[in-house]
Amino acid sequence: MLTPHRFTNLNYCLIYVSSLVIECLISRSDSSLNELYKYCEASNVEINKQDITLAVSFLYLLNKAKYNIETDIVTLV
């Protein structure tokens, strides 16, 4: 979910998960989706792989991240 409402836990919104992905990419430069998942899972156990995939897609659409299909690596632009 992109815009949270009053009943939503902000730890699961797309913007928060995207910020965790950016933190991981800044600290590790390039990461695979599994590494991103492990990094985000360490900060919040209930974040799942779909949340990470949606966050990477969101950053890709904003032209803030690149994804290489052959190597399964995500990088910041």
- In the structure encoding, which two tokens stand for residue 26, read together? 């800044």
- Over the stretch 22-43, which tens digit does the pLDDT of each residue have? 999 999 889 999 999 999 889 8
- Over the stretch 39-76, which tens digit does the pLDDT of each residue have? 988 988 888 899 899 999 999 999 999 999 999 899 99
Residue 42 has a CB neighbour count (10 Å cut-off) of: 11
- Greater confidence (51 vs 4) lies with 51
What pLDDT was estimated at residue 65?
A: 94
What pLDDT was estimated at residue 13?
A: 83
Domain residue ranges in the chain = 10-76
The CATH class that applies to domain 10-76 reads mainly alpha
Residue 13 has a CB neighbour count (10 Å cut-off) of: 18
